[in-house]
Amino acid sequence: MEGYTKNKARLSDRVLFALELAIEQRDLELSEMLNNCLDLAMTRNTGGGEFIERRHYPEEIEKALIELRGLKS
């Protein structure tokens, strides 16, 4: 959550902040919901019938996903 400011324009930045907070609070159910929201926010308005996933997650998202996997185990 370091470096977070409320002035970030992308919805995915704000959802990531909420996901990191839910993981920090060890709230698995909410973390999974926010992970789904993050995925939707990052992929909205992309794709089409022949869409091929080429997305590379920024380091902070990769870190949150690793922590979420750890929370699940």
pLDDT one-digit tens code per residue, 8-26: 678 888 999 999 999 999 9
- Residue 66 banded pLDDT, cuts 50, 70, 90: very high
Burial annotation 21-39 (CB, 10 A radius, 16+ → b, else e)? ebbeeeeeeebeebbebbe
> Would residue 24 count as lying in a domain?
yes
Dist. CA 34–CA 28, nearest whole Å: 10
Structure tokens at 43: 């992929």
> Would residue 5 count as lying in a domain?
no
Number of domains comprising the chain: 1
Q: What is the mean pLDDT of the segment spanning 39-52?
A: 71
- Find the domain containing 64 and state its range: 11-72
State the pTM of this model: 0.72
